[in-house]
Structure 1
Amino acid sequence: MDDHIHTWTTITLLFAASLLFVTRIRRKSSNLPPTIFPTIPIIGHLHLLKKPLHRTLSALSAKHGPILLLRFGSRNVLLVSSPSISKQCFTENDVVFADRPRLLAGKILGSNYTSFGFAPYGNHWRNLRRISTIEIFSSNRINEFRDTRADEGRLLVRKLITESSDHVNLSLVFNEMMLNVMMMMLFGKRFFGGGVDFEEGKKFKELVNETFLVGGATNLGDHLPILRWFGVKGFENKLIELQKKRDEFIRGLIRQIRISKGDEMKNNESVKEKMMMMMMKNTVIDVLLKHQETNPEFYTDDVIKSFVLNLLTAATDTSTTTMEWAFSLLLNHPHILKKAQTEIDNQVGKSRLIDESDTINNLPYLDCIVKETLRMYPPGPLLLPHESSKDCIVGGYHIPRGTMLLVNQWAIQHNPDLWSDPERFYPERFEVEGVRDGFRLMPFGSGRRGCPGEGLALRVIGLILGLLIQCFDWERIGEEMVDMSEGPGLTLPKAQPLLAKCKPRPMTRSLVYDESGFSS
């Protein structure tokens, strides 16, 4: 009996060794990128993955090389952690990698892969991209809402003056601020502040947070289809329930806009008054509904709904987390905070609030702080996954069609061979080092699927950070350093909310208050 077992064990080991040998020979003859040996049948390299994923993959690349072809179950995954290889993916192979992998989150949260973030590369996606670049993120459209962002900034300063204490929750402040900015651009209404429906805002904020927690969770069923055969439905049910809540919420907002427009048209009797009203209302949802009248086949309610949801969730969470990390770093490095405040005092003065033109043209050190924050804590540490639509060559290796591309931007931006002392918060590095030189800094992605909202995000982040630095003196809650632990989710959130002390500076009240409530 023992001899029989020994014989079968030997045969099994020989078969496994032969299979691995043949696999390695076939890989070399196919000119595929290096991999991590062994690739375990069925699960591939999934057993190597631990949270946080960007750090785990960074350690694997540091050990095995900057380009790796891994197996996540049944799926080929190209892992890139080199700026030169990233450049190849997003320049000469940009169209090839413009697709998205078909993941369960894209099917459910992305309305069956039709939303802007999840849609495959093609005519539908190009139409959505055109809408975003022309109707929302073009320079003209961004400038149209410049006064809106300035008003929100002043309202934020006033709020902190009245509520300043030893425990200001900046995580909450930044989140509500960004929701207000995006809601004003999209719907012409605010969620937080005086005279608004706080419960409505609270409900949507919970939906945004749940989207990034649930939607960003690892789903083994995306890589191991066999799990679906066993009825593993827990994750799918969570996504379905979340999408139902998101759908109902946005449909309700669109319904409110339609009712409001109908009432306004009825109440304005003359043609001239109607035309004036229509010219004044130029929010994103107004523009989309206007396009729906002339092109109802494309601008369906589902397309508008998913488009708005994509904008609200993506723009709000990424900008919020970047501001949280930036202020956490500043509180832990008070000399840098003071240097930024001195720059604002010298360049802007103390007789007016900073505006967006200052952050773009007159405050280079503040700009360095934002860049350094994005380097250390990119809002998408692995960017969003891409997929090759056909065979291509990357780094001299053959990449098969249908390969998922993960660019570990966090690893690139923390590589000591690319950045001097990369774990140090040192904004001055951007006074001498290049920004996009060799794709070293790419927190918003690149190429066709790069984030179209980068310009708007940088304006808002610079403005809000600048206002808080200009108008208040800040301190940590206690002697302890701010906790810099990372939480779970797609956008590298902080694990703990950011609390701080703030005290209005002597000139602040005069800058934001006058008889009408605002400074001129």
Structure 2
Amino acid sequence: MAVPVVVLAADSSLPQQWQLALLLVLVPLLLLHLVASCSGKGGGRRLHLPPGPPRLPILGNLHQLGSLPHQSLRELARRHGPVMLLRLGSVPTLVVSSAEAAREVMKARDADCCSRPDTPGARRLSYGHKDVAFAPYSEYWREMRKLFVVELLSARRVRTAEYSREAEVEKLVARLRSSAAAGTPVLLEDHVFALMDGVIGTVALGNIYGTEQFAHRSHFHEVLDEAMSAKAGFHAEDYYPNALGRLVDRLTGAAARRERVFRDLDAFFDTIIDQHMADPPSSRGNGSADLIDVFVALMEERRRHRHDEGGPLAFTRDHIKGLLSNVFTASVDTSSVTMVWAMTELIRRPAMLRKAQEEVRAVVGGGKARVHPDDVAKLRYLKLVVKETLRLHPAVPLLLPRETLRPVTICGYDVPARTRVLVNAWAIGRDPRSWGQDAEEFRPERFEEKPRDAVGFGGTHFELVPFGAGRRMCPGMAMGVATTEFTLANLLYCFDWELPEGVRSQDVSVEEAGGLTAHKKTPLLLVPTAYKPAALSAQ
């Protein structure tokens, strides 16, 4: 499911070290702004640009982005319309906040709006855009996406990954049973993050990921957290893509931090690639190839044919690392966030929680210790809960930024080439025009009512776009949803859940934390009680 370098700051209030740096560059930037304004005046057809809020010199509209940009942008859209043009620093940015406008961007004009902006964090952490998520639209991107989907995210691979999901869910259930026996509350996010890390790590890197050979795995988690933070943080060059932006990033330490995170991530990737090259599938007991094995074989094959006339595109270690960066940063965090929000909404509504549990336990029956993958297809209400969670709490509220390749018309407005485009999936999922006056309410039953009974998140219904749509739709949707539904089903089947003593369901906060993904600001602390089916109890 996710995640990417987001173009909006995690916190728009300028850090203290910025104040001096901005003073150093304010005057020359102002002069450049005035020169650009004067040079832009002249003949030619007057563009019919989208409306937007007034701008300040230099900052543009940056000062109007709060700690939760998707919420700030929705408030601005309520005043200026669902197609809105802002200037974030020196970067023109189109924000769309309705299903109609999203359809224009991601379907009708998708070929014109399907590239990615070149931002410093994305460029460095993707090894010069040698990935899928942040690579500009090109022949290279098309080939890499095809490879990525076939080798990791196809229906065949999702089925192949079932063994990993089952193994990690068994570990999760065992850990939670220990906590239940001790009567201690658990931080649910920590447990589901560990599960997702195990699933994705095993699918990508093989069974070695869970062995003692990966004793440095905990360090990798820290590096991964740093990488996510670096991508979501405030970088001057994101908004001032010139020498001055680079200077400010150096003065504030943002560039040095990005480089340190890159070195740590690079060292980890080198280690796992070297291990796979030294221990090929043929030398292992089961002889099965994981994702790294496939990539290493492709690298060796292309190296042999690199001089062939009209031969395939190059594929190097950096390409492998760029794709691995997508695998981990875009999968682990986003699915974990969705599971935590689903459990948060259910624990706040005891009747819904009981309904979901009764369905799971009726479908599974009393003779199993946990839910099996085949059971999930029969869990209609659970699927509605997941869909409603994705509507209200998309893991990446603004999706990943797009960029227009050429001038384009969106909902009757002229949008110049090289304009950054943000699709506010969070606002679209809460739009009363699509979802009625109870759009802010968590109500899974809405998807049983016409006309919303047919609405899905597969990229064809633009009132629900948690994974995007069109060419740049998240390719990990199938795997992410399968893991989320299977894990939630087991959490509901294997345990009864309560809040810690003294905490009422209405007191559970749904406040979000700022960042690339929309985490719950207050950790979800729950008390599990192990459930043992009657049939197993009698044995």
- Tell me if structure 1 keeps the 8 A contact 2:396–2:517: yes
CA distance in structure 2 between the aligned counterparts of 1:154 and 1:171, rounded to whole angstroms: 17
TM normalised by structure 1 equals: 0.86
Alignment RMSD: 2.7
Greater shift in the superposed pair: 434-443 or 410-419: 434-443
Write the letter of the residue equivalent to 1:214.
A
**Which residue identity does 1:343 align to in structure 2?**
E
* Displacement after TM superposition at 1:22 (Å): 12
| Equivalent residues of 1:180, 1:190 under 8 A apart | no
Q: Distance in 2 between matches of 1:417 and 1:181?
A: 38
CA distance in 1, matches of 2:200, 2:429: 29
CA-CA distance at 1:198 after TM superposition: 7.3
1:496 has 2:519 as partner: no
Q: Secondary structure at the match of 2:435?
A: coil
Does the 8 A contact of 2:367 with 2:535 survive in 1? no
Of the candidates 295, 302, 310, which is equivalent to residue 295 of structure 1?
A: 302
Q: Does structure 2 retain, via aligned residues, the 8 Å contact 1:58–1:411?
A: yes
1:446-465 to structure 2, matched below 5 A, reads 446-465=469-488
Match of 1:152 in 2: 168
CA gap 1:46/1:358 in 2 versus in 1, 3 angstroms = same
Work out which of the two has the higher radius of gyration on C-alpha atoms and give 1 or 2.
1
CA contact (8 A) 1:208 1:317 kept: no
Alignment check: 8 A CA contact 1:161 1:504 kept:
yes
Post-superposition offset of 1:25: 11
Change (3 A) 1:40 1:168: closer
The answer to whether 1:101 aligns with 2:117 is yes
* Post-superposition offset of 1:327: 1.1
The answer on whether the counterparts of 1:179 and 1:191 sit within 8 Å (CA) in structure 2 is no
The alpha carbon displacement at 1:201 in A equals 2.5
Residue 252 of structure 1 and its aligned partner are, at CA, apart by 0.8
**Alpha-carbon distance between aligned partners in 1 of 2:343 and 2:178, rounded to the nearest angstrom:** 20
Q: How does 1:350-389 map to 2 (within 5 A)?
A: 350-352=366-368, 353-359=370-376, 361-389=377-405
Structure 1 letter corresponding to 2:469: S
Q: Quick one: structure 1 residues 74 and 508, their matched pair in 2 at CA, closer, same or farther if it must change by over 3 Å?
A: farther
2:386–2:485 Cα contact (<8 Å) kept: yes
Q: Partners of 1:508 and 1:283 in 2: how far apart?
A: 40
Cα distance between partner residues in 1 of 2:143 and 2:221 = 28
| TM-score normalised by structure 2 residue count | 0.83
Letter in 1 for 2:276: I
Pick closer, same or farther for the CA change 1:229–1:117 going to 2, 3 Å: same
Equivalent residue, structure 1, for 2:229: 213
Q: Tell me if 1:424 matches 2:441.
A: yes
Which residue of the partner structure matches residue 274 of structure 2?
Answer: 255
**Does the Cα contact within 8 Å between 1:472 and 1:508 map onto a contact in 2?**
no
Offset at residue 397 of structure 1 (A): 1.4
> Which structure 2 residue ranges, 5 or more long, are not aligned?
1-32, 307-313
Residue 330 of structure 2 aligns with an amino acid whose one-letter code is A
Contact 2:49/2:415 (<8 A) preserved: yes
Residues 238-262 of structure 1, C-alpha deviation per residue, up to 9 Å, x if partnerless?
A: 1111111111011111212222338
Counterpart in 2 of 1:467? 490
Deviation string 1:11-54 (CA, Å, 9 cap, x unpaired) is: xxxxx9xx999999999931111122x33333222222221100
Residue number in structure 1 paired with 2:190? 172
Which amino acid is 2:263 matched to? K
Given that 1:167 and 1:501 are in contact with CA atoms closer than 8 Å, whether structure 2 keeps it comes out as: yes
Aligned to 1:135: 151
Indicate if the aligned counterparts of 1:356 and 1:459 stay in contact, CA closer than 8 A. Answer: no
Contact 1:191–1:200 (CA under 8 A) maintained in structure 2: no
Q: How many pairs were matched up?
A: 480
Q: Which runs of 5+ in 1 are unaligned?
A: 1-15, 266-273, 515-520
List per-residue Cα deviations over 1:380-434 (Å, max 9, x = no partner). 1000000001111111111110000001111111122222312211111112224
User: What is the CA deviation profile of residues 238-292 of structure 1, one whole-angstrom value per residue up to 9, with x for unaligned ones?
Assistant: 1111111111011111212222338x64xxxxxxxx8xx6x73121111112222
Separation (CA, whole Å) in 1 of partners of 2:476 and 2:252: 34
Report the CA distance between 1:508 and its aligned residue.
9.1
Secondary structure (helix, strand or coil) at the match of 2:483 reads helix
Change (3 A) 1:197 1:331: farther
| Alpha-carbon contact 2:126-2:325 (below 8 Å) kept | no
Q: What is residue 34 of structure 1 aligned with on the other side? A: 51
Counterpart residue type for residue 102 of structure 1 = D
1-side partners of 2:534 and 2:334: how far apart? 28
- In structure 2, the residue matched to 1:337 is 353
Map of 1:403 onto structure 2: 419
Whole-angstrom distance in 2 between the partners of 1:243 and 1:163: 37
Q: Which moved more, 1:79-88 or 1:347-356?
A: 347-356
Is this contact kept in 1: 2:97–2:424, CA < 8 A?
A: yes
Q: 1:350 to 1:71 in 2, by over 3 A?
A: same
